[in-house]
Amino acid sequence: MRAALYLSAGDVIVDEVPDAFLAEPTDAVVRVLRSCICGSDLGSYRGVITRAARSRLGHEFLGIVEAVGADVTSFRVGDLVVAPFQWSDNTCPACLDGLQTSCANGGTFGAPGTDGGQGEAVRVPQADGTLVAVPGGLDASGEELLPALLATSDVAATGLHGAVLAGTGEGSTVAVIGDGAVGLCAVLGAVTVLGAERVILMSRHADRQAIGKGFGATDIVEARGEEGIAAVRELTGGLGVRHVVEAVGTPESWAMAMGMAREGGAIGAVGVPHTMPQLPLFEPFIHHLSINLGIAPVRRYLPDLIARVTAGTLDASPVFDTTLPLAQVAKGYAAMSARESVKVMLT
């Protein structure tokens, strides 16, 4: 089969790799219908983090079950399934606490020795605890729902998780830092799922602003740094916002998050902190800020999000502004790295 491979910074190819197969009785093999490129994939593409040459790429996908191991009881061949970006048994203490990304028997697609989502098929370990079936399968959902379903495999759930960590609820005012797919989905989750009344999106890009407004953003702030903080405080009568979603992970975005949070506010952080190994604690300490952060346990949110997608009440598919065949994955990486695309979907 063919799959996307990382060679070195800025160099991604598609090449032949061994076919996905059942290695354990708890495995399933999924034929990929749609995959995509994640902002976190750009870390190695830009040379910020290192990974082995010819390692597999991608961790977001959906597809059709082609084979199941002897111990798999929840799925059968032909099911349409969505995979979260990490697998989990969904039975260990961490999973039962809703932290499937901390599963004792879990792992990440595209990690060394695993299949990546950007390929023609994927071996899925712990299939019963990982995959979520789409009711009625492809016949019921139709191909037109695949982009919205694909978004639930990571960014729709990750954005929602950021809003949850920030304590968002009915009638909340929320600021979202980051206009990538995760930040935009934080707007969608805050409004559509959690009932936020006002969402201030920090964005300088007209195309991303349009998506954010479509998802429910009520205010757009283009300024950054101290100017951005001042603009948010002006919009909130000088108080700042009680709920801040940090969806970037840089020192600059963290400084903004702490600067625009009101006294006693909460920051929900889901931006991957590749460039911020330390967080200064004095400022949140003196302002009584709550900081909640972590890798989104997508499996926890998937059943509800898929139900909302199939019911027509949630649609994060507008974040996919570019669609390419797998063979052109390198073009997709280049487009996202240059911020010419919000998020690339692969067919």
Q: Domain 156-293: which topology?
A: Rossmann fold (3.40.50)
**204, two tokens:** 């300088």
Q: Where residue 14 falls among pLDDT bands split at 50, 70, 90?
A: very high
Confidence at residue 173, expressed as pLDDT on a 0 to 100 scale: 98
In this predicted structure, the answer to whether residue 248 has a pLDDT above a threshold of 80 is yes
- pLDDT over 90, % of the chain: 88
Q: Which tokens hold the place of 238?
A: 């000088």
Does pLDDT of 65 surpass 90? yes
Q: How far apart are CA 283 and CA 212, in angstroms?
A: 30
**Sequence ranges of the domains in the chain:** 2-154+297-346, 156-293
d(CA 291, CA 269): 8
Q: Is the dihedral of CA 131, 134, 139, 145 positive or negative?
A: negative
Mean pLDDT of all residues belonging to the chain = 95
Structural class in CATH, domain 2-154+297-346: alpha beta
Mean pLDDT within 322-333: 96
pLDDT above 80 (res 74): yes
Query: CA–CA separation, 324 vs 332, rounded Å?
Result: 7
**pLDDT for res 75:** 96
Instruction: For residue 330, count CB atoms less than 10 angstroms from its CB and return exposed for 0-12, middle for 13-18, buried for 19 or more.
Output: middle
Domains 2-154+297-346 and 156-293 share a fold: no
Separation of alpha carbons 250 and 257, rounded Å: 11
C-alpha span between 265 and 315 (Å, rounded): 29
What pLDDT is recorded for position 150? 98
Which tens digit of pLDDT belongs to each residue from 198-247?
999 999 999 999 999 999 999 999 999 999 999 999 999 999 999 999 99
Give residue 265's pLDDT. Answer: 98
How buried is 292 (Cβ within 10 angstroms: 0-12 exposed, 13-18 middle, 19+ buried)? middle
Tokens 């001042």 appear where? 230
Give residue 75's identity as a one-letter amino acid code.
F
Position 170 pLDDT exceeds 70 = yes
pLDDT digits (tens, 9 = 90+) for 77-118: 999 999 999 999 999 999 999 999 999 999 999 988 899 999
pLDDT digits (tens, 9 = 90+) for 283-301: 899 999 999 999 999 999 9
Give me the pLDDT at residue 277, please.
Answer: 62
Q: Which residues are bridge partners to 133 per DSSP? A: 81
d(CA 273, CA 198): 27
pLDDT band at 44 (very low <50, low <70, confident <90, very high): confident
Contact, 311 vs 288, CB < 8 A? no
162 vs 158: CA distance, rounded Å: 6
Tokens of residue 245, six digits: 């979603």
